[in-house]
């Protein structure tokens, strides 16, 4: 049954969207059936996969707050037949407010995903840069979270704060929520600060930190404006290499924990 991984960090610009899009694409290229849920009103992952703004298109907002269904909004990514997307649009910002008065407001996304998750190997949720009701919905529906952390000053503080939120979500909404891993992003090996941050985060969070580190790579920054995952934009880039490696690491971890559960 599809494992649901929320890509979360309350800070913007840390590499959530880049990670969600490119890990989902890497798994789709490996012929794993993958769903990416764009859960950020900025709709960056929708655009990054080539879906231009279209007022006629029904999006995740219409399914959360309106009459649209999963089937009515899901799209397949051209060039990546194993990757499907639930697109977002700016109107998703309204859901934060509209859901407040709804029944089971924390579980609206879960209700949408539970009936379809078995069609997928993985479902990724690209979260907005806040800890509001949208992110709470993502955390309530996820099996695990992937936390991208930019290799910069105060990285540890951000993770510590997020871990506290995870603790609260476990207590109140989703006791099974796991940490899939902490991902160090935008690493520049020319700066001693970046090296220091990597060392510190590894020291504090140990095995919870992915071995793969995502380098700062211009091609990763360019690919979204062409509406393409990095593998379709520049497969030979350092960024493509790093996200392929991360996808493999994610699969390896899952096999390990599956093996442990089975034995
Ligand atoms: N490893 C990287 N190297 C270079 N640019 C990156 C990298 N990761 C992300 N970016 C760029 O940095 C900006 C923020 O990344 P993004 O993934 O959108 O972060 P978030 O979703 O957390 O706000 C975007 O313009 C993105 O293209
Ligand atoms: Mg984003």
- Give the closest residue (by CA) to ligand 1 atom 5: 221
pLDDT tens per residue, the chain (263 residues)?
899 999 999 999 999 999 999 999 999 999 999 999 999 999 999 999 999 999 999 999 999 999 999 999 999 999 999 999 999 999 999 999 999 999 999 999 999 999 999 999 999 999 999 999 999 999 999 999 999 999 998 899 999 999 999 999 999 999 999 999 999 999 999 999 999 999 999 999 999 999 999 999 999 999 999 999 999 999 999 999 999 999 999 999 998 887 777 76
Specify the CATH number for the domain of residue 245.
3.40.50.300
Query: What pTM value is reported for the model?
Result: 0.97
| Integer angstrom CA distances of residue 160 from 119, 155, 173 | 34, 9, 20
Burial 14-51 (b: 16+ CB within 10 A, else e): bbbbbbbbbbbbbbbbeebbbbbbbbbbbbbbbbbbbb
- Give the closest residue (by CA) to ligand 1 atom 10: 221
Ligand 1 center from residue 19 Cα (angstroms): 8
| Integer angstrom CA distances of residue 54 from 50, 66, 80, 114, 182 | 12, 18, 21, 27, 34
pLDDT number for residue 259: 77
Q: How many domains does the chain have?
A: 1
- Give the closest residue (by CA) to ligand 1 atom 14: 13
pLDDT number for residue 261: 73
Q: State the residue for tokens 């891993």.
A: 181
For 203-231, how does the pLDDT look when each residue is reduced to its tens digit (9 = 90+)?
Answer: 999 999 999 999 999 999 999 999 999 99
For 101-122, how does the pLDDT look when each residue is reduced to its tens digit (9 = 90+)?
Answer: 999 999 999 999 999 999 999 9
Domain span holding position 138: 3-262
Ligand number nearest CA of 23 is 1
- Give the closest residue (by CA) to ligand 1 atom 25: 221
DSSP 3-state percent helix, strand, coil across the chain (nearest 5): 50, 20, 30
Ligand number nearest CA of 16 is 1
CB-neighbour burial class of residue 242 (10 A; exposed 0-12, middle 13-18, buried 19+): buried
In sequence order, what DSSP letters do the residues of 85-139 get, joined into one string? EE---GGGHHHHHHGGGSTTGGGHHHHHHTTTGGG-SEEEEE--SS-SHHHHHHH
- Ligand 1: which residues within 6 Å by Cβ? 12-18, 44, 129, 185-186, 214, 216-217, 220-221, 224, 239
């Amino acid at each position: 049954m599809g494992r649901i991984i929320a890509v979360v960090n309350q800070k913007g610009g840390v590499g959530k969207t880049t990670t969600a899009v490119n890990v989902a694409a890497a798994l789709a290229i490996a012929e794993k059936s993958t769903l990416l849920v764009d859960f950020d009103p900025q709709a960056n992952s929708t655009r990054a996969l080539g879906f231009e703004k279209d007022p006629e298109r029904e999006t995740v907002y219409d399914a959360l707050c309106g009459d649209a269904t999963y089937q009515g909004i899901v799209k397949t990514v051209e060039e990546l037949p194993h990757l499907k997307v639930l697109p977002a649009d700016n109107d998703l910002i309204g859901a934060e407010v509209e859901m407040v008065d709804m029944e089971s407001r924390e579980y609206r996304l879960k209700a949408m995903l539970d009936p379809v998750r078995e069609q997928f190997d993985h479902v990724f949720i690209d979260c907005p840069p806040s800890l509001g009701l949208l992110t709470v919905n993502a955390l309530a529906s996820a099996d695990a979270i992937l936390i991208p952390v930019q290799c910069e000053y105060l990285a540890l503080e951000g993770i510590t704060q997020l871990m506290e939120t995870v603790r609260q979500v476990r207590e109140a909404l989703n006791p099974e929520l796991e940490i899939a891993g902490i991902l160090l992003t935008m690493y520049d090996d020319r700066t001693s600060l970046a090296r220091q941050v990597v060392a510190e985060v590894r020291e504090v969070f140990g095995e919870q930190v992915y071995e793969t580190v995502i380098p700062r790579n211009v091609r990763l920054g360019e690919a979204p404006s062409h509406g393409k995952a990095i593998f379709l934009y520049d497969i030979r880039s350092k960024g493509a290499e790093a996200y392929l490696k991360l996808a493999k690491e994610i699969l390896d971890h899952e096999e390990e924990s599956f093996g442990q559960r089975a034995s």
